[in-house]
Chain A
Amino acid sequence: MRAVDPRPSALPAPRRSRVERAVPAAALLLVVLFVLCFSALPLVAMVAQSLDGGLVAAGERYASVLANSATEIWNSCFSGAMAAVLATGLALAVSLCITFGAPRLRRPLQVAVLLSMASPPFVASLAYIQLFGKRGLVTHGLLGLSVSPYGWQGVVVMQALFFCALDVLLLTAVLSRIDPALMQAARGLGARPGRVLRTVVLPVAGPAILVCLLLTFIRSISDYGTPVVIGGAFNTVATQIYVQLVGYSDLSAVAVLNMVLLAVSGLVFFAQKRLDARTARLVEGTHGGRADAPAWRMAGPVSTALHVVAVTFGAFIVVLYLTVVRSAFVRGVGAGAPFTLENFEHLAAYDLAPLGRSLLYGILAAALATVLGAVAAYFTARKRVAGSRVLSFCLSMPYMLPGTCLGLGFILAFNGAWGVKLTGGALILVLVLATKQLAISADAFSSSMAQVSRELDMAARGLGAGEARMFRDVIWPNVREAAAVSLVNGFSSAMMSYGALLFLVAPSTKTAVVQLFDALSGGKYGNAAAVAVVLMAVTLVGDVLASRISSRAPRPGAPVPAGTGTEAPSADLGVAGPTTDKEAR
């Protein structure tokens, strides 16, 4: 480790005092205002809607909705828990293989993960039916079976497959930061590889695993696309919300059902926070490995099993995607459909403007969510300012609601009735997309920041660094992976978002996914698949560019003019040096 640079030029004290104290205050204020306006207000609008017509009417409404939805609530919790466990297990296997597995598999697995993140809604479920339905290419074509693919099993499997991608990103970010010396030490003390995983790796990844379980559960119970397409008679709260919206236009009943979902999610959220607080201590002190430490590799039967799971996952995703790509290049459906390019001609004629809009909204929303998420995590998870819990709950709430309902909350809050009219424009779309993903950004940053030793803060402070500077020089170099996770997730989900936009898009602001859904509803599989293919390609490119951030670290030791401190943060403060050394590898 390099010696701490004692030169006074590295501590521009006079300039710091005013500006560097104002910046964090302004940043905190901005996040609080944003969360109040765009996370809390739509929820307030939703609560107001659920109480519409006075307390007596509202009480009756709550009672009757709850009484009628017992089965759906149970179904939601059941499939949500199953999907969460399955997705997290899958994600753990895949991310362990990416981080500690066979190096040859690393890239292909990462590509499979990015592919599954860039999955348009409905399309994968339809591909599932094409593969495993009564006339499925696999079940009927290969195996000669005729089985019904509808039911909770399909829902759980598909949700696990596609929700696990985000978990993989979160877990990989955490696992890759574990100091290999820990594993080496355990091995040196005679622990077998499986035991190393169980006693060293898993405890360190504990908080991230909890976050994954929570996020997947919440995503699962608020997802209506999958159960609507392949659930069959299996109804969840989210599908009931959809039916109420489309079939009965009963906004108040919809609002009540949302409160139910929110209550369930809220319970899980607080349970996770409690558990998280207990495990958090374990993580401190695992801030990155030494540059000269050899990478640790898994071995043994456990490793083999994990590799089998990871490769199966990758293969499954690839097959599903090939099915979609095939649909884009053929006319009609079925095994004998002829090749055609007309789907792409149709796309060029109708869908280019919506694609451009998707791209623009996606970039803006991802950037906004990442910046706000980083700041929010810094103040809630790192600084633990007063009211941190409330703030982090508020910013997580939009994620707990089904997209349609967040959209509904936005429309109710910003339709002009309360003085602000944003409906009909593009701004509200960017805002809703950013708000929805803010929870993921904040969580990703919190997990990463938890791994940065607090002593670093004190060291930096002792050297005279101000708050903004500390964020830039100590925190930021250590949360680059989190920034990548946040950008990739924000961009992918914005590009693929349908539910949240359903009620907010106007004819002049419709996005590519809206076009895709439209084509699907009209039975035009080919057109839908073509939009899906282009959308996936664009999203993948965006994701790859965004994920570059995590690997593009400033070169340590590069000559930096003293006092400027714009780049090469580690050289300035010295302490964070080893971390960036490792990342620059």
Chain B
Amino acid sequence: MSHTQKQPALSRRSFLLGGAAVVAGGMLAGCGSNKTEGSGTDTSGDGNAEVDKGIFEGLDTSKTLNIVTTNESYTALFDKFTEASGMKYEILSMSSGEVLSKIKAEGGAPSADLWFGGGIDSFMSAADAGYLEPVDFEDADKFATGFKSDDNLWFSKGVTVVGFIVNEDVLKDAGATAPKAWTDLPDSQYADEIVMSSPAVSGTNYAAVAGILQDMGEDAGWKLLEGINANVPFYTKRGSDPSTRVSQGEFGVGITYIDQTLDDLLNDSVKIVHPSDKMPYIPDGVAAFKGADNTAGAAAFIKWLFSNDDMLVELAKLDKKNTIKLCIPSLEGVELDYTDEDLMSEDISEFGAMREDVLAKWDQVTGGKEIKES
């Protein structure tokens, strides 16, 4: 199998340059890598088995793969890995901020091997601090620019978009209607009805703030955030709070990540809104920890997952979104659900560098609702 063909070059700022273009480019790449249909020259099933064999050669499968992940819904995928490799796994859910603190405290002897899911800014920090192991493999070339680190320290398995969850019953009582766009939120009809988690704590809400600033520009962005702040009574300290509080009827509008974990919360009056003036987004990372007991197992998992289109399609099913196609445009069998019509124009690579300044300014703007130490 030849996956040596490079992705059509996309500049960092414009890698979302036209959803159609990306899809077209992806199809081109797909055609070139003779993995078009099951009836191609190379049957993908055999190919995968060969790939698997190469990846798992020499792997000590008596070790367990210890995984930290964002939620347990990925077990079906990990089961498939166990099936293919013979290596058992254990998972633990942690937010990416917690993972970062834990890795720091463990002082280079991490108790987990694989980091699966979480905001990419945390992966960037971990990579900068030297906590991640590079994983080189042929198919790493398939990633679009910006969706893996230059030295293969982390990879993206999709993106998380940020939008609204609304409770129409609550809004009706407050005499308000569901907002359709970010620019609706400063309206006084939403006074004390908006819940948002602190961008310091929640990776997605940091992406929301950073995305708004990058897409709308600093001045317009901060003005909007100030307007929203006027309607937010306080900022919660856990990323899941906005969605759960809105579904409980505590607030009318929540600013939240939109993913499959929200499905349980939705009903006739609790709904998701994709803002019409575009959504901020943040790539979801995958990485192997350096110096762990089973770093080799984690590396094998990464190679196996990203060299195996069937598994990526499976992953998209579990995620209930196809944003993996943004990361690997050549992937067949999934249709992009968001294009740049839907997504804000962001420079993810700046997310890490601008974080400190953004949070400091955020602190000033929200004055007292959020207090940040040095």
Residues on A facing B (Cβ under 8 Å) = 61, 64-65, 68-69, 71-72, 129-130, 133-135, 140, 146, 148-150, 228, 232-233, 235, 239-240, 242-251, 253-254, 257, 331-334, 350, 408, 411-412, 415-417, 421, 423-424, 502-503, 505-508, 510, 514, 517-518, 520-526
Contacts and interface: CB of A to CB of B under 8 A. Distances in A.
Listed residue (A240, A249, A524) with the most chain B CB atoms within 10 angstroms of its CB: A249
B104 A249 contact: yes
Contacts of A247: 97, 198, 200-201, 359
B193 to A, nearest CB: 10
A249 B97 contact: yes
B371 interface: yes
B371 A240 contact: yes
Given A246-B95, A506-B112, A524-B264, A415 B105 contact: yes
Contacts of B111: 423-424, 506-507
B234 interface: yes
A251 B170 CA distance: 40
Contacts of A68: 371-374
A429 B262 CA distance: 32
A246 B101 contact: yes
5 contacts: A140-B249, A233-B368, A239-B237, A332-B267, A523-B243
Nearest to A411: B105
Given A133-B248, A523-B240, A523-B262, A507 B91 contact: yes
Given A133-B248, A249-B100, A508-B64, 7 more contacts: A243-B198, A245-B101, A248-B372, A248-B373, A521-B71, A521-B238, A522-B240
Given A334-B249, A411-B102, A233 B369 contact: yes
B104 A332 contact: no
A243 B237 contact: yes
Interface string B38-69: 00000000000000000000000000101110
Contact of B101 (A251, A333, A334, A510): A251
Contact of B66 (A334, A415, A508): A508
A65 to B, nearest CB: 5
Nearest to B259: A522
B101 A129 contact: no
A520 B72 CA distance: 12
Contact of B107 (A72, A245, A415): A415
Contacts of B101: 245-246, 249, 251, 254, 408, 503
Nearest to A353: B90
B234 A246 contact: no
Nearest to B293: A424
A518 B71 CA distance: 7
A423 B293 CA distance: 12
Contact of B371 (A149, A235, A524): A235
Interface in B126-161: none
Q: Sorted from nearest, which 3 A-B pairs have the closest CB atoms? A: A135-B249, A247-B200, A424-B111
A423 B109 contact: yes
B294 to A, nearest CB: 11
Contacts of A522: 71-72, 93, 240, 261
Interface of B: 64, 66-68, 71-72, 75, 89-93, 95, 97-98, 100-102, 104-107, 109, 111-112, 125, 170, 173, 192, 198, 200-201, 233-234, 237-240, 243-245, 247-251, 261-262, 264-265, 267, 293, 359, 368-369, 371-374
B108 to A, nearest CB: 8
B248 A135 contact: yes
A65 B374 contact: yes
A68 B198 CA distance: 17
A437 to B, nearest CB: 22
Contact of A411 (B106, B233, B265): B106
Nearest to A235: B371
A235 B366 CA distance: 14
Scoring A148, A245, A246 by chain B CB atoms within 10 A of each residue's CB, the highest score goes to A246
B261 A134 contact: no
A240 B374 CA distance: 12
B98 A146 contact: no
Contact of B92 (A149, A243, A334, A506): A506
Nearest to B265: A523
Contacts of A350: 72, 75
Contacts of B200: 243, 247-248
A239 B238 CA distance: 11
A68 B125 CA distance: 25
Contacts of A134: 170, 249-251
A423 B313 CA distance: 36
A539 B139 CA distance: 50
B92 A232 contact: no
A350 B359 CA distance: 38
Contacts of A71: 371
Contacts of B104: 249, 251
A524 B71 CA distance: 11
A480 to B, nearest CB: 39
B357 to A, nearest CB: 14
B250 A133 contact: yes
Contacts of A244: 373
A248 B102 CA distance: 12
A103 to B, nearest CB: 41
A332 B263 CA distance: 10
Contacts of A421: 109
Contacts of B97: 245-249
Contacts of A239: 237
Contacts of B369: 233
